[in-house]
């Protein structure tokens, strides 16, 4: 951890917290404002964050992609999340979601940075296999990037589903004040949730396949019963059901949104709980 | 110079009259040309889908202007005169500023009007039909419109049942460009709601009625398309908003029909507005996923919920209008003072030169330097005396007209001007 990294992270955190506050303020105001400047500020933060990841990959002692331990991965996940949010915001104007995504991204990066800083886990005790991982890092990097991008898309999709459910409830109860004015239109959030899932799904699937290939090529036995792998399979299945219901049976609205939130819960369990329990093959993540 | 505004809008005239007197796009230039020939002065025509207004600075009065507009549209003045409103001077200024700010629109707070005012202004400037007064007035109106847009939240307000329907439709579908609207039955309220939706971008309107001829008539008025009542269900598969206001004693659209329609449209959201009493749409249909059913009471209660915030915002907007309008009015008054100012200056100059010559005649022995010093002294005295009153008049402070009149009398300026 050197000074350059601290400066990059500092700039990035400042941009994230500023945009987080702007998005939250906007959610409770009556008027949409500063859409473009806020987005520009967010992109600046994203660039600084990227520079930090690159610096850490190149100059750090760990892997080329900083994913060697749970805190490095957290920072990278936050970056993926913000990246996908920026794309979504410029495409669909789902500004309200920023009020959830940006605080999360800020927390992710902050926790990651301070944990890495304090424990200086660079050469890490948490990861005994660093040397071994380094040997096989190319495919591993692709696997993690794809899976995290998939997660980010699912996360955004779930937030859109949540926004849909809220706005739907407002409209059904015939109240049209406060929060309801800042939430996206139901048709837009419903469509965005679907598109994001449809987009994230192949990326996530490819990530899983590459993960399997990587696992098989490095260590042919003993990984299939890893809890994270099993749970990833379950998550994958929930999204398959969602996409099928949507495409084949025309599911939309409340039922679809509820299914998506179930998928989101699976994602969180897969991502967080297994990481915390430190069991199985993915225990270092 | 008096300012006069004559015009008609959605409140004063039915759509068939407005259509005949709509001079949108290319037609405005020819009209401006004709007005210049017939009426002289400064002329500007503002046309939107809901209004046609003529602003005139010059000597013509209301009936002259209406006559000209009528002539150009091939109509007799007597036939159209009743549909026109007319504002003079101060009222005309306030009216235009309120129009530009979207306060006079069908959907209060809409901003398309600002662009339309800008276009009308540009067209008039291009054809050279306006002078200093209307130029300044329209610039100020655009400024007022922009300020209302930036400094108030009036566009967020829900002012009417039509505006409420638009807000709800936007909360369901997002942008309404290209949205399809079906009207079942007839009625003023249904028409108003459809018009409000159309002015927010909805572009295909279908009208269904038990009597096909009635449907055709209303469709004609709304620029839509009539459909046979039996085809209602199939039309509902594609539409976004359905407004129902028939006089039927029973439900025209029952739950089963909506279930069927929702299946056919693969659960795409559907906004149903039931204006009829007794109701046209079975209330149970509102519980279906993706169906948003509002009856007239629901719409009214949404309008009510918003009333407090709305009051505050319209007060803010009216304050801005007031500021900008008064600014313009005092500019206009100061302009009116210009001839008086000139006459006053000339009068003093005459006195100065006369008295100076007289004094110099009595003092023949002065050196050239002394003569020029005395001349400078005379100028300085005049300038000092005139400085304060001139600034006062130029800034257009209050009570302008009285002061100007008094100055003319005190210094006998009429005679000065004759000279």
Interface of A with B in 41-70 (CB under 8 A): none
**Cα–Cα distance for residue pair B73/A68, rounded to 1 Å:** 79
Of the pLDDT bands very low, low, confident and very high (cuts 50, 70, 90), residue A268 is: confident
- Nearest residue on chain B to A246, alpha-carbon basis: B266
Residues from chain B that touch A30, judged by Cβ atoms under 8 A, are 153, 156, 309
For A181, which of B156, B263, B286 is closest by C-beta distance? B156
Q: Give the list of residues 6+ apart from residue A265 with CB closer than 8 angstroms, or none.
A: none
Contact A185 B301 (CB under 8 A): no
Q: Residue A127 — φ and ψ, nearest 5°?
A: -125, 95
pLDDT surpasses 70 at A174: yes
Chain B contact for A178 (CB, 8 A cutoff): no
pLDDT at B157 over 70: no
**Contact residues, chain A, for B167 at CB < 8 Å:** 176
Q: Rounded mean pLDDT of B4-33?
A: 84
C-beta atoms surrounding B230 within 10 Å: 8
At B130, list the tokens. 């306006």
- Across residues B246-262, what is the average pLDDT? 91
CB distance A176–B298 less than 8 Å? no
Question: pLDDT at position A277, please?
Answer: 64
Residue whose entry in the numeric block shows the structure tokens 């700010």: B101
- Return the HEC string of B79-101: HHHHHCEEEEHHHHHHHHHHHHC
Instruction: Please tell me if residue A173 touches chain B, with a CB cutoff of 8 Å.
Output: no
What residue in A sits closest to B176 (Cα-Cα)? A185
Domain coverage including residue B126: 3-157+310-331
Position with higher pLDDT, B158 vs A36: A36
Distance CA(A85)–CA(A72), nearest Å, equals: 20
B372 touching chain A per CB within 8 A? no
In chain A, the percentage of residues whose pLDDT exceeds 90 is 43
Work out the minimum CA distance from B144 to partner chain A, whole angstroms.
19
DSSP collapsed to 3 states, A246-279: HHHHCCCHHHHHHHHHHHHHHHHHHHHHHHHHCC
pLDDT for the residue B416: 63
Q: Do A253 and B269 touch (CB under 8 A)?
A: yes
The Cα of A39 is separated from the nearest Cα of chain B by a number of Å equal to 20
Question: What residues of B are in contact with residue A177 (Cβ under 8 Å)?
Answer: 305-306
**Cα separation of A244 and A240, whole Å?**
6
* Dist. CA A130–CA A68, nearest whole Å: 7
pLDDT single digits (tens) B122-139: 999 998 899 999 999 999
Residues in A closer than 8 angstroms to B309, CB to CB, are: 30
Residues A194, A256 contacting (CB under 8 angstroms): yes
Asked if residue B99 and residue B223 are part of one domain, the reply reads: no
How close B266 gets to chain A, by Cα (Å)? Answer: 5
Q: Say if residues B6 and B62 touch (Cβ distance below 8 Å).
A: yes
Among A176, A252, A255, beta carbon nearest to B305? A176
Do residues B153 and B170 both lie within one domain? no
- A269 Cβ contact partners less than 8 Å away, ≥ 6 residues apart: A231
Q: Which of B172, B298, B306 sits opposite A186 (nearest CB)?
A: B172
pTM: 0.69
Assembly ipTM: 0.84
Q: How many residues does chain A have?
A: 285
Of residues B293, B261, B266, the one with CA closest to residue B279: B293
- List of chain A residues whose C-beta atoms are within 8 Å of the C-beta of residue B156: 30-31, 181
The model's confidence at residue B358, banded by pLDDT at 50, 70 and 90, is: very high
Please tell me which residue of chain B has the smallest CA distance to A93: B174
Neighboring chain B residues of A167 at a CB cutoff of 8 Å: 171
- Mind listing the pLDDT tens digit for each residue in A42-76? 999 999 999 998 888 887 766 777 777 778 888 99
Domain ranges, ordered by start, for chain A: 1-135
Q: What Cα–Cα distance (Å) separates residue A193 from each residue in A26, A184, A190, A260, B347? A: 22, 12, 5, 8, 80
Selecting among B49, B86, B164, B239, the annotated active-site residue is B49
Is A194 part of the contact surface with chain B (CB cutoff 8 Å)? Answer: no
Q: Annotated catalytic, B49?
A: yes
Q: Are B164 and A174 in contact (CB under 8 A)?
A: no
Q: Is B223 found in the same domain as B152?
A: no
Q: How far apart are the C-alpha atoms of B49 and B23, rounded to whole Å?
A: 10
Look at residue A125 in the predicted model and tell me its pLDDT: 46
Question: Which has the closest alpha carbon to B395: B315, B314, B341?
Answer: B341
Domain count for chain B, please give it. Answer: 3
Q: Which residues of A touch B173 (CB under 8 A)?
A: 185, 187-188
pLDDT, mean over chain B: 87
Considering only the beta carbons, identify the residue of A176, A177, A254 that sits closest to B289: A254
Q: Which CATH number does the domain housing residue B324 bear?
A: 3.30.460.30
Predicted confidence band of residue A282 (pLDDT cuts 50, 70, 90): low
CB-based contact A122:A92 (threshold 8 Å)? no
What was the pLDDT predicted at B278? Answer: 81
Concatenating the DSSP letter of every residue in B195-208 gives: HHHHHTT--EEEEE
Strand order in the sheet with B225-228: B225-228, B204-209, B180-185, B241-245, B270-274, B291-295
Write down the mean pLDDT value for chain A.
84
Q: CB-based contacts of B320: which residues, under 8 Å, 6+ apart? A: B101, B144, B147, B148, B151, B152
Q: Which tokens sit at A1?
A: 């951890």
**E strands present in chain A:** none
Local structure of B274: helix, strand or coil: strand
Same domain, B71 and B195: no
Instruction: For residue B115, name the pLDDT band (cuts at 50, 70, 90).
Output: confident
**pLDDT of the residue at A136:** 72
Q: How far apart are CA A247 and CA A235, in angstroms?
A: 18
Q: How far is A196 from chain B (nearest CA, A)?
A: 18
Give the pLDDT band of residue A122 (cuts 50, 70, 90). Answer: very low
Measured in angstroms, the CA of B181 and the nearest CA of chain A are apart by 16
At B84, the pLDDT band (50, 70, 90 cuts) reads very high
Whether B174 and A184 lie within 8 Å, measured CB to CB: yes
CA distances from A233 to A20, A236, A267, B82, B367 (A): 33, 5, 10, 75, 113
Percent of chain B with pLDDT over 70: 96
Judge whether A159 and A204 are in contact, CB under 8 Å.
no
Same domain for B134 and B17: yes
| Closest residue of chain B to A253, computed from CA coordinates | B290
Chain B residues with beta carbon closer than 8 angstroms to that of A254: 289
> Are residue B14 and residue B146 in the same domain, yes or no?
yes
- Over range B335-342, report the average pLDDT: 82
- Whether B290 contacts chain A with CB within 8 A: yes
Residues B185-232 have pLDDT tens digits of 887 778 888 888 888 888 888 999 888 888 898 888 888 899 998 899
Per DSSP, the three-state class of A280 is coil
Rounded to a whole number of angstroms, the distance from the CA of B308 to the nearest CA of chain A is 12
Tell me whether residues A185 and B174 touch, CB distance under 8 A: yes
d(CA B222, CA B10) in angstroms, rounded, equals 13
pLDDT, residue B343, reads 87
């Amino acid at each position: 951890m050197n000074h350059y990294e601290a400066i990059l992270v500092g700039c990035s955190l400042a941009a994230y917290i500023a945009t987080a506050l702007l998005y939250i303020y906007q959610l409770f105001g009556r008027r949409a404002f500063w859409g473009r400047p806020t987005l520009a500020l967010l992109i600046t933060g994203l660039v600084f964050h990227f520079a930090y990841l690159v610096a850490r990959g190149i100059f750090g002692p760990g892997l080329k992609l900083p994913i060697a331990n749970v805190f490095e991965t957290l920072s990278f996940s936050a970056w993926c999340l913000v990246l996908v949010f920026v794309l979504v915001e410029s495409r669909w104007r789902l500004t309200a979601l920023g009020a959830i995504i940006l605080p999360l991204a800020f927390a992710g990066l902050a926790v990651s940075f301070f944990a890495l800083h304090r424990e200086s886990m660079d050469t890490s005790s948490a990861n005994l296999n660093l040397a071994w991982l380094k040997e096989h890092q190319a495919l591993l990097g692709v696997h993690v990037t794809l899976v995290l991008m998939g997660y980010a898309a699912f996360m955004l999709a779930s937030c859109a589903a949540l926004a849909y459910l809220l706005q739907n409830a407002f409209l059904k109860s015939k109240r049209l004040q406060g929060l309801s004015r800042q939430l996206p239109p139901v048709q837009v959030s419903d469509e965005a949730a679907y598109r994001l899932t449809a987009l994230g799904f192949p990326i996530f699937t490819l990530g899983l396949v590459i993960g399997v290939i990587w696992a098989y090529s490095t260590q042919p036995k003993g990984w299939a019963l890893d809890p994270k792998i099993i749970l990833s399979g379950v998550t994958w299945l929930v999204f398959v059901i969602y996409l099928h219901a949507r495409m084949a049976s025309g599911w939309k609205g409340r039922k679809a949104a509820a299914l998506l939130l179930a998928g989101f819960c699976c994602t969180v369990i897969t991502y967080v709980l297994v990481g915390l329990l430190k069991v199985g093959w993915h225990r270092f993540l | 110079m008096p300012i006069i505004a004559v015009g008609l809008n959605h409140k004063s005239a039915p759509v068939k009259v407005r259509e005949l007197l709509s001079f949108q796009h290319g037609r405005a230039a020819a009209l401006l040309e004709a007005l210049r020939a017939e009426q002289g002065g400064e002329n500007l025509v503002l046309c939107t889908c809901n209004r046609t207004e003529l602003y005139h600075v010059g000597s013509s009065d209301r009936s002259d202007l209406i006559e000209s507009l009528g002539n150009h549209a091939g109509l007799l003045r007597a036939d159209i005169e009743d549909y026109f409103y007319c504002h003079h001077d101060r009222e005309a200024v306030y009216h235009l500023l309120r129009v530009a700010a979207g306060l006079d629109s069908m959907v209060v707070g809409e901003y398309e009007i600002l662009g339309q005012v800008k276009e009308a202004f540009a067209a008039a400037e291009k054809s050279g039909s306006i002078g200093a007064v209307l130029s300044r007035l329209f610039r100020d109106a655009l400024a007022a419109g922009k300020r209302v847009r930036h400094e108030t939240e009036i566009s967020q307000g829900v002012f009417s049942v039509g505006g409420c329907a638009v807000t709800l439709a936007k909360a369901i579908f997002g942008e309404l460009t290209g949205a399809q609207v079906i009207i079942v039955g007839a009625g003023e309220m249904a028409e108003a709601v459809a018009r409000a939706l159309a002015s927010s971008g909805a572009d295909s309107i279908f009208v269904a009625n038990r009597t096909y001829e009635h449907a055709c008539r209303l469709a004609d008025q709304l620029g839509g398309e009539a459909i046979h009542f039996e085809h209602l269900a199939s039309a509902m598969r594609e539409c976004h908003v359905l407004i129902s206001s028939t006089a039927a004693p029973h439900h025209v659209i029952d739950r089963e029909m909506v279930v069927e329609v929702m299946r056919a449209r693969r659960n795409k959201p559907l906004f149903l507005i039931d204006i009829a009493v007794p109701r046209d749409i079975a209330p149970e249909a509102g519980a279906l996923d993706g169906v948003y059913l509002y009856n007239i009471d629901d719409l009214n209660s949404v309008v009510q919920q918003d009333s407090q915030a709305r009051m505050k915002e319209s007060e803010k907007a009216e304050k801005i209008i007031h500021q900008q309008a008064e600014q313009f009015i005092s500019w206009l008054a100061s302009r009116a003072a210009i001839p008086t100012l000139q006459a006053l200056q000339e009068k003093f100059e005459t006195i100065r030169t006369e008295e100076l010559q007289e004094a110099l005649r009595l003092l023949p022995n002065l050196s050239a330097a002394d003569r020029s010093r005395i001349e400078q002294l005379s100028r300085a005295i005049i300038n000092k005396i005139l400085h304060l009153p001139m600034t006062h008049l130029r800034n257009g402070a209050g009570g302008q007209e009285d002061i100007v009149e008094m100055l003319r009398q005190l210094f006998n300026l009429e005679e000065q001007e004759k000279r």
